[in-house]
Amino acid sequence: MEKKYSVDKTDQEWKQQLSAEEYYVLRQKGTERPYTGKFDLHFENGDYHCKGCNAKLFESEHKFESGCGWPSFDQAVEGAIEYIRDTSHGMLRTETVCANCGGHLGHVFNDGPKATTGQRYCINSVSIDFDPKE
């Protein structure tokens, strides 16, 4: 049985709202190519929101340069992320999805900055939007 989220749309509704690449990542658990996303080296002050439902996911003070080719954060907004065991591609990973709409964001790893949380949220740029703070 598939989990129901606060934002619940049909595939057709998602396809109308999202670009083809956004749909591929958010709804089909795809991955953008490394070093191609607009938020990889983006370090402005503000908040990052889910591209599917606009839920606040990350704050800029938790973003860091990991060198992995995708936007990286050491902490998510409390309650904004759902964590799912992912055994695809012969690996054991933890998938991150938006807790509000179920959109695939990326994965979280335990190789982030040890001075903070030790976590690295590796997030696809196409799965998020940015809201600058003045």
The reply to whether 27 falls in a domain is yes
As a whole number of angstroms, the distance between CA 18 and CA 50 comes to 12
Full residue range of the structural domain in which residue 124 is found: 11-132
Q: What is the pLDDT of residue 100?
A: 98
Tally of domains within the chain:
1
The reply to whether 122 falls in a domain is yes
As a whole number of angstroms, the distance between CA 111 and CA 98 comes to 21
Q: What CATH number is attached to the domain comprising 106?
A: 2.170.150.20
The reply to whether 37 falls in a domain is yes
Q: How confident is the model at residue 4 (pLDDT cuts 50, 70, 90)?
A: confident
The reply to whether 104 falls in a domain is yes
pTM: 0.94
The reply to whether 113 falls in a domain is yes
Residue-wise pLDDT tens digits, 41-64: 999 999 999 999 999 999 999 999
Beta strands in 41-127 (DSSP E): 46-50, 56-59, 63-64, 72-73, 81-86, 93-98, 104-109, 120-123
What mean pLDDT, rounded, does the chain reach? 95
The reply to whether 44 falls in a domain is yes
The reply to whether 1 falls in a domain is no
Whether residue 2 is predicted with pLDDT greater than 80 in this model: the reply is no
Asked whether 94 and 107 are in contact (CB, 8 A), the reply is yes
Q: What is the pLDDT of residue 91?
A: 85
By annotation, the residues acting in catalysis are 122
As a whole number of angstroms, the distance between CA 51 and CA 66 comes to 22
Cβ-count burial of 104 within 10 angstroms (0-12 exposed, 13-18 middle, 19+ buried)?
A: buried
Q: What is the pLDDT of residue 1?
A: 52
The reply to whether 107 falls in a domain is yes
Q: What is the pLDDT of residue 89?
A: 82
Residue-wise pLDDT tens digits, 79-112: 999 999 998 888 899 999 999 999 999 999 999 9
Q: What is the pLDDT of residue 78?
A: 97
What is the average per-residue pLDDT within 2-10? 88
In terms of DSSP H, where are the helices of 1-134? 11-17, 20-28
